[in-house]
C-alpha cells in the first residue's frame, strides 16, 4: 500500500519510518519516500526491464501493488545514458514507489558487471529512483573466507565512497550487509554499516542459502545483522521469493523483501501456496480463490499456450505472495505472529529446524516484543516455549519475583481448568482456610510455577494449551520449579502431584533440592485424580495437621 504525499508533507517526513504495530521483531510501519508512503512489511515485485511477463500496469491495477523493484544496471544497458523518458517512473509507466537494485546480483551470477560504483549511483540519481542500492560486492556462498573478507571490506569502502558522492537527498539509499555464511563477518559488516547514514539497510547474498533451503543459516544471518543495525531504520531482505518463509523472516526483523520468483517459478510450472510449492501438473484443484484460480481449473490452465500459461501462473504466484504479506500484517496487528510462524514452520523440516534455532536469540526477541497484547496466546508444544511471553515470564519468576516474606511454607498444586486459578471453587476453599499459612502456587505448562497472587496477570490467564505434553516440555517445567526453590527461602514444601508430570525421577529432583535447601518435603498425593474429593480431603488433613 502506498499513500500519496504532497511536497509539503515530504519536506518534513522523507525517510521517516513510523512504527504503528509490532510483534516479535516484526513491525507494521510507514516508510516515507518521495513518491509516497510504503507500509511494511512490504514485498517489491521485481520488474525485469528487458523481459517482463506481467506488465507493470497489471501488477499495479489488478493486484493493487504500488511498490516495485527494477534493476538499474539492466536498465542502463537497455537505454544507455541518454533517453527522452529518463525518469524511471516514465520509463516503466508507473507512478508508485520504485526501488532500484544496482546490478550486484548480476555480479554474483556472472562474476562482474560493466559499470563502476559511482557510475551506477549517478544513473540511479538521474532516473530518480525512490529507493536505491549502492553497487556492493556480494559475498556469495562457497567462495572461501578470504574472498568473503574482501567482499565485506570492499563493500564498506564503496559505501563510504558512495555517501561522499551522493547528491540527491530525496532518494532513500540502502546500505547492504555482506559476509555470507560467515556469521562473524556479517556481524562485523553490520556494525560498521550501522555507523554510516543510510536510510535503510539490507542483507546481501542470501539467495543461494535460500535456494538450498538452509533456512537455519539464513535466519542466523538475519539475526546477526539485525542485532547491530539501527532499530529505527527498515531492514530489507534481498531475493526472498517464497511466501512460506515470509512470516518467519518478518518475525526475525525483516521489514521488506523483493522477488522475481513469482515469474521464475511460473516458468518452471510451479504453483505457489503459503505452505509450499506444487507442480501444476500434479494439481487437480486450485486451493486458492484469486482471479486466475477462479477462472481456470489446473487442467484448463495446462492446456493454454505456454506464454499464456506462464503469465497466468505468474499472476497467481504474485497474488499468493501479496496475500501472505497481508496475512502477516494481520497477525502482527492481533499479536499472533508467533502462531503464524509455527504453522508455516510445519511446511518444511528445514523451516522447523530454523524456528527451533530462534532459541539462540530468544532474549533479543523478548527485548523487541510487546509486554501485553489484545488477545491471549496459544501454546502448541515445546517450540511454543520459545515465544517471548513464555521466555520472559520464566526468567522473571526466577530472577525478579520474590514471595511475600510472611510465608514459610509453599503449597504447590496443579493448575485448575478455571482462569484465573484463584476463582476455582476448590482453590477458594483452600484460600479461605489456609491462605494465611501457606503460599499457594501452581505448577503449570508452559510457565512452570505461578504464585496465586499474580495468576491473573498477562499472559498467565490468557494462555490456551493442549492437554498432553511432551517429556522435554515437562522436564523444562521441573527445572523451573527447582530453580524457584533454589532461589527462594521456604521451610516447607507440600506437593499435590499429578503422576503424569511427577515421575519418580522428577520427584527425586524436587526432593534433592529440598535436601540441599533444608526444606521439609511432604507429598500429599501422587496420582491421576488430583481433583478427586478424596485426594483433596487428604491434602486438607495434611495442611490442617
CA distance 542 to 523: 9
- Which set of grid coordinates corresponds to residue 252? 526475525
DSSP for 201-262, written as a single string: EEE-S-HHHHHTT-HHHHHHHHHHHHTTS-TTS-EEETT---GGGHHHHHHTT--EEEE-HH
Helix (H, G, I), strand (E, B) or coil at 528: coil
CA distance 206 to 138: 9
- Which set of grid coordinates corresponds to residue 403? 514471595
Contact 163, 196 (CB under 8 A): yes
Q: Is 483 a catalytic residue?
A: no
Burial class of residue 196, CB neighbours in 10 A (0-12, 13-18, 19+): middle
CB-based contacts of 345: which residues, under 8 Å, 6+ apart?
248, 351, 352, 354, 355, 383
Give the helix, strand, coil percentages of the chain, each rounded to 5: 50, 20, 35
CB-based contacts of 297: which residues, under 8 Å, 6+ apart?
285, 286
CA distance 364 to 226: 10
CA distance 256 to 171: 17
Catalytic-role residue among 101, 136, 199, 255 = 101
- Which set of grid coordinates corresponds to residue 147? 574472498
**126 CA to centre of own chain:** 36
**Interior angle at CA 175, CA 171 and CA 178, nearest 5:** 155
Catalytic residues: 101
Amino acid at each position: 500500500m502506498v499513500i500519496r504525499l504532497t511536497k509539503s508533507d515530504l519536506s518534513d517526513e522523507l525517510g521517516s519510518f513510523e512504527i504503528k504495530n509490532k510483534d516479535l521483531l516484526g513491525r507494521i510501519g510507514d516508510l516515507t519516500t518521495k513518491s509516497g508512503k510504503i507500509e511494511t512489511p512490504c514485498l517489491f515485485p521485481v520488474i525485469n526491464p528487458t523481459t517482463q511477463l506481467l506488465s507493470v500496469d497489471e501488477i499495479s491495477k489488478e493486484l493493487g501493488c504500488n511498490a516495485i523493484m527494477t534493476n538499474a544496471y539492466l536498465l542502463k544497458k537497455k537505454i544507455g545514458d541518454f533517453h527522452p523518458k529518463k525518469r524511471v517512473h516514465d520509463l516503466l509507466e508507473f507512478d508508485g514507489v520504485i526501488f532500484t537494485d544496482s546490478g550486484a546480483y548480476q555480479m554474483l551470477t556472472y562474476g562482474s558487471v560493466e559499470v563502476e560504483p559511482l557510475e551506477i549511483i549517478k544513473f540511479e540519481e538521474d532516473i530518480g529512483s525512490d529507493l536505491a542500492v549502492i553497487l556492493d560486492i556480494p559475498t556469495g556462498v562457497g567462495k572461501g573466507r578470504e574472498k568473503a573478507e574482501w567482499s565485506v571490506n570492499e563493500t564498506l569502502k564503496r559505501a563510504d565512497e558512495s555517501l561522499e558522492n551522493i547528491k540527491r537527498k530525496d532518494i532513500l539509499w540502502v546500505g547492504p550487509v555482506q559476509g555470507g555464511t560467515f556469521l562473524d563477518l556479517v556481524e562485523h559488516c553490520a556494525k560498521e554499516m550501522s555507523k554510516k547514514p543510510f536510510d535503510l539497510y539490507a542483507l546481501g547474498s542470501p539467495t543461494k542459502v535460500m535456494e538450498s533451503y538452509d533456512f537455519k543459516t539464513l535466519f542466523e544471518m538475519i539475526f546477526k545483522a539485525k542485532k547491530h543495525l539501527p532499530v529505527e531504520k527498515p531492514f530489507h531482505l534481498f531475493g526472498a521469493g517464497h511466501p512460506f518463509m515470509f512470516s518467519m523472516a518478518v518475525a526475525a526483523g525483516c521489514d521488506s523483501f523483493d522477488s522475481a520468483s513469482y515469474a521464475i517459478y511460473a516458468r518452471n510450472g510451479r504453483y505457489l501456496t503459503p505452505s509450499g510449492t506444487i507442480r501444476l501438473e500434479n494439481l487437480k484443484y486450485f486451493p486458492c480463490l484469486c482471479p486466475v484460480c477462479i477462472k481456470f481449473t489446473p487442467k484448463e490452465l495446462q492446456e493454454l499456450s505456454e506464454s499464456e500459461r506462464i503469465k497466468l501462473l505468474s499472476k497467481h504466484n504474485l497474488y499468493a505472495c501479496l496475500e501472505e504479506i497481508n496475512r502477516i500484517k494481520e497477525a502482527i496487528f492481533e499479536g499472533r505472529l508467533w502462531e503464524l510462524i509455527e504453522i508455516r514452520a510445519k511446511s518444511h523440516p528445514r523451516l522447523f529446524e530454523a524456528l527451533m534455532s530462534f532459541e539462540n536469540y530468544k532474549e533479543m526477541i523478548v527485548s523487541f516484543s510487546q509486554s501485553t497484547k489484545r488477545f491471549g496466546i496459544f501454546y502448541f508444544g515445546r517450540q511454543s516455549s520459545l515465544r517471548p511471553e513464555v521466555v520472559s515470564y520464566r526468567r522473571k519468576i526466577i530472577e525478579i519475583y520474590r514471595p511475600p516474606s510472611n510465608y514459610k511454607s509453599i503449597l504447590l498444586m496443579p493448575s485448575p481448568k478455571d482462569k484465573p486459578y484463584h476463582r476455582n471453587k476448590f482453590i477458594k476453599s483452600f484460600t479461605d482456610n489456609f491462605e494465611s499459612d501457606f503460599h499457594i502456587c501452581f505448577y503449570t505448562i508452559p510457565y512452570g510455577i505461578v504464585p496465586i497472587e499474580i495468576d491473573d496477570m498477562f499472559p498467565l490467564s490468557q494462555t490456551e494449551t493442549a492437554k498432553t505434553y511432551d517429556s522435554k516440555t515437562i522436564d523444562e517445567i521441573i527445572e523451573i520449579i527447582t530453580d524457584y526453590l533454589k532461589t527462594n527461602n521456604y521451610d516447607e514444601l507440600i506437593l499435590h502431584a499429578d503422576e503424569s508430570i511427577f515421575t519418580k525421577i522428577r520427584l527425586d529432583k524436587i526432593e534433592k533440592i529440598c535436601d540441599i535447601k533444608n526444606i521439609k518435603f511432604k507429598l500429599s498425593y501422587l496420582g491421576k485424580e488430583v481433583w478427586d474429593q478424596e485426594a483433596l480431603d487428604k491434602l486438607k488433613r495434611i495442611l490442617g495437621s
